[in-house]
Chain A
């Protein structure tokens, strides 16, 4: 392969807009994506994340703006000339072709020699651990195996950028967590830039180098998972990534994560307020309380279940406190 994926794959998106009639699906996006980065576009349905991905892939034209790959504009390049790998929602494997032919397709349409294709296919089969499945048709594979074939097919021609459109949506929860780890591991091994679209915050947090939170066609906030979780800038970012309480103080809104609140019976020095437990819900590792406080309304509090001892009954009067850095001012 001539294209060494470690040497390219940096993307710059400037002022990108996609308009359908009067609706702006993508309303002006500026984004730098480093080569080799695992970047996640996270947002609810209708946030424009999939449209943005399709524009990067070349399946949607841009109404305005530009997309640069390693400094060269690709906004007018047709999809088949962009050389971006893509894993589609539902995988979109070729149903009439064997696993081998699916994976070799990109090289075969590039008219590479037969021996090179066979060698590369074998390499990819090893990479995604599908040994022994080469001659099966997609319909004869499980969902997880199909997902791996889709990955191998998209990576076979060593693209500088791999686009993934909710690739885990069709898998059950247990398998999804397993595949998340595999994907992250794969990313580290191949060094390709990954752009990953999902509405699942857990996937976004666990795999990404950086996460882009999108809403209504705009970028709400960009940052590492830690930055986004600990310093959300807007109310939307605070609720879409994790849970949050909102405190109104000094004419501002502040975010406060439920697990950063201390809750105990009786009082201690640094209490902020007192309250009465409304309800409790058990989640295995965490006990969640809804507490009616005197100053801040109803607050959600998460307590480590193993540390909390016996669950407090509704009606119990408790004291509530938090560290100063636990509250984050929002921009709203």
Chain B
């Protein structure tokens, strides 16, 4: 088990280094960093001097090392567009994105798993069929379109819910939360549903297909034969055995929820990191793009690691046979 975790750790560090290298190359070679800092009237000598002072004449490895060391401390330099440290900008936006993502992930699981179990148990009921049809529509509806439809219905026609922003936020230290005010919660409803819907259909379909497999196995038949209650068989015996793939996918989906938040934030003008990033892509604001890339990669790597460790907890076979690879 330790070798399994160690292997994964090494792989994670490799991924982080690769991503940092990409981010650094972006930073250093896409556009001229000096040009982005000084005005038109700066002389050639002054530019050279600035270049020397910033260490841009050092060797590639030295520069990359410096970048990685800075990045590890959360220092990504100044945004070209906002003229402020990137780390401050991201710290301001991070709570908005995380709150939105976590609420959405929770929604997706709380609705997706029971729906999946139901459609597997009652395969041929009309409700299952309509769930399945709806899920296909859900997969075919792009995230931004779901957002637009919700805005049209609840924002423009019915005027029940706010259509943009986070509402009022409460400051808890450096963390700003929208979960403690009525307007903040109201503003969260539409974006979180928009973000959750796709993941929900995914989780539902996954739980369903896993359940169908497990329900066919001998130990479930045997549990039935022993006369255990139907509910116990379905929800404890069977569901427990579908959890390995469900945990993996759900865990990995948390990462893509954060990534898909870019779209949702853009539709609802939600002041999170995704909105910051998409504006940075439009304006070629490289420091923000590089920082976002490293941060997202870090989230992914950490989530992947946690999922791998959960594997070991859930699946006893992995504790014995650690040389099995993946």
Bind each other: no
| Residues in chain B within 8 A of chain A (CB atoms) | none
